[in-house]
């Protein structure tokens, strides 16, 4: 069995610090202390779910997969960013956990540090995983983890607000028709659209569908297409279609605004479905439109099961059993219901829609989604993303026009990456 060479670098640590939780309500504020290397009959498992205690369905699933493999699994939960940093330090010290569940942009950071095994080295079958989903954990055509599910972004709409403004949601197919709908909503005395443009990874995450939907590319953020996307957001704020507080909105506070019932649209993710059902008004979901029509690619969110490098390679056989249990179709269905994820395999997606028809538009959205670190970006992504959210903040606050803000972002990213 091939073991990847371990080489922890300061650059990898710096990149890891820039990767933040973005995709769901999974990230929490509580932390735990890393445990010492596991004994033969005990396997260690780290995840970014401090909100799930030992009585949760998730914790019980992890434990049961250990039991099926004939061992005890000792689970430790961390805040997402804390998990990344501890994973890098543990790899450097040679006491990595047996299994780690990490946010998908983190996979390339840990891979670049040389502390993850390829899935092929462990004979884990990833053939049924949708290519665009596993792409977020793929480096140089090799997968370094297996997704347990995915989520992404779409537009929730308030059916009552749209009806009062005489807007048919089916008529919204591109930026022009969406902006026209916002104009009608404002004229009817309601509020337009809310989203998160905060100066963190959440801001980049929410901007990317518009950026990609214009045909822009992360390797050149200051393209005319990128400027068009940022100008769209700025134009909405100037016209009063979007509130000024998008500059400080997280995805959670943005949802809270939409849940007041005053907004026509709210950009948010699969993880809000339970809250949407409790909102007290009729809602629907449509894809975020691309500039010229069709669905814009939205970024994939979700976590990957990864297997860190171990000094004792004899442990891998049992680790493989634990991971295979977690990613079985039966457990993916249970896990995705617990975490509000869309399954990464078509067969389980079909079961999900059969159980909950409200997931149908989200299955389509995930199918069109893109990994943030895909297409060879890897550890360059956190650097580019930071400059992108900085540009969004500058343009929306009025300190720079969209093109100037993106020009500054491109220059800063190129300087840090070395291009």
Most confident residue range from 118-127, 154-163, 410-419: 154-163
- Three-state SS for 46? strand
Identify the pLDDT of residue 336. Answer: 87
Q: How many residues does the chain have?
A: 419
Cα–Cα distance, 207 to 387 (Å, whole number): 12
Identify the pLDDT of residue 206. Answer: 98
Identify the pLDDT of residue 58. Answer: 94
Identify the pLDDT of residue 38. Answer: 47
Percentage of the chain lying above the pLDDT 90 cut:
84
pLDDT tens digit sequence for 163-206: 999 999 999 999 999 999 999 999 999 999 999 999 999 999 99
pLDDT above 90: residue 223: yes
Nearest of 198, 229, 246, 278 to residue 20 by alpha carbon: 198
* Average pLDDT value over all residues in the chain: 90
Q: pLDDT grade, residue 374 (50/70/90)?
A: confident
Separation of first and last alpha carbons in the chain: 36
* Torsion sign (Cα): 220, 225, 227, 233: negative
Give the chain's domains with CATH numbers.
10-150+300-368 (3.40.190.10), 153-298+379-417 (3.40.190.10)
Identify the pLDDT of residue 4. Answer: 35
- Three-state SS for 75? strand
pLDDT tens digit sequence for 179-190: 999 999 999 999
Identify the pLDDT of residue 139. Answer: 92
pTM score: 0.84
Tokens found for residue 322: 């634990």
pLDDT tens digit sequence for 42-70: 999 999 999 899 999 999 999 999 999 99
Cα–Cα distance, 320 to 313 (Å, whole number): 12
pLDDT above 50: residue 19: no
pLDDT above 60: residue 39: no
């Amino acid at each position: 069995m091939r073991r990847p060479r371990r080489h922890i670098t300061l650059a990898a640590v710096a990149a890891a610090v820039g990767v933040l939780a973005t995709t769901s309500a999974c990230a929490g504020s509580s932390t735990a202390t890393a445990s010492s290397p596991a004994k033969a009959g005990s396997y260690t498992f780290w995840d970014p779910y401090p909100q799930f205690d030992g009585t949760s369905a998730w914790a019980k699933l992890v434990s049961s997969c250990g039991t099926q493999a004939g061992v005890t699994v000792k689970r430790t939960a961390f805040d997402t960013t804390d998990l990344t940093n501890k994973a890098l330090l543990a790899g450097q010290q040679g006491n990595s956990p047996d299994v780690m569940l990490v946010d998908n942009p983190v996979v390339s950071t840990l891979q670049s540090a040389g502390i993850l095994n390829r899935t092929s080295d462990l004979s884990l079958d990833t053939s049924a995983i949708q290519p665009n989903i596993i792409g977020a954990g793929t480096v140089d055509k090799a997968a370094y983890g297996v997704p347990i599910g995915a989520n992404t972004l779409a537009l929730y709409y308030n059916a009552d607000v749209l009806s009062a403004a005489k807007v048919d949601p089916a008529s919204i197919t591109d930026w022009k028709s969406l902006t026209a709908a916002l104009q009608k909503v404002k004229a009817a005395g309601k509020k337009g659209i809310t989203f998160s443009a905060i100066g963190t990874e959440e801001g980049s995450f929410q901007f990317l569908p518009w950026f990609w939907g214009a045909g822009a590319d992360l390797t050149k953020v200051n393209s005319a297409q990128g400027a068009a996307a940022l100008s769209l957001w700025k134009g909405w704020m100037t016209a009063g279609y979007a509130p000024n507080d998008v500059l400080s909105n997280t995805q959670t506070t943005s949802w809270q605004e939409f849940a007041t019932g005053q907004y026509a649209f709210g950009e948010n993710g699969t993880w809000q479905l339970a809250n949407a059902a409790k909102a007290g008004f009729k809602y629907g979901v449509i894809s975020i439109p691309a500039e010229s029509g069709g669905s814009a690619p939205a970024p994939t969110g979700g976590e990957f099961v990864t297997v860190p490098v171990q000094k004792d390679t004899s442990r891998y056989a049992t680790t493989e059993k634990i991971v295979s249990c977690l990613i079985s179709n039966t457990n993916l269905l249970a896990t995705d219901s617990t975490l509000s994820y869309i399954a990464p395999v078509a067969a389980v997606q079909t079961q999900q829609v059969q159980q909950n028809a409200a997931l149908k538009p989200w299955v389509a959205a995930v199918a069109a989604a893109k990994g943030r670190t895909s297409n060879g970006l890897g550890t360059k992504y956190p650097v580019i993303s930071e400059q992108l959210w900085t540009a969004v903040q500058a343009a929306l606050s009025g300190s720079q026009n969209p093109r100037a803000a993106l020009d500054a972002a491109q220059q800063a990213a190129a300087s840090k990456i070395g291009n």
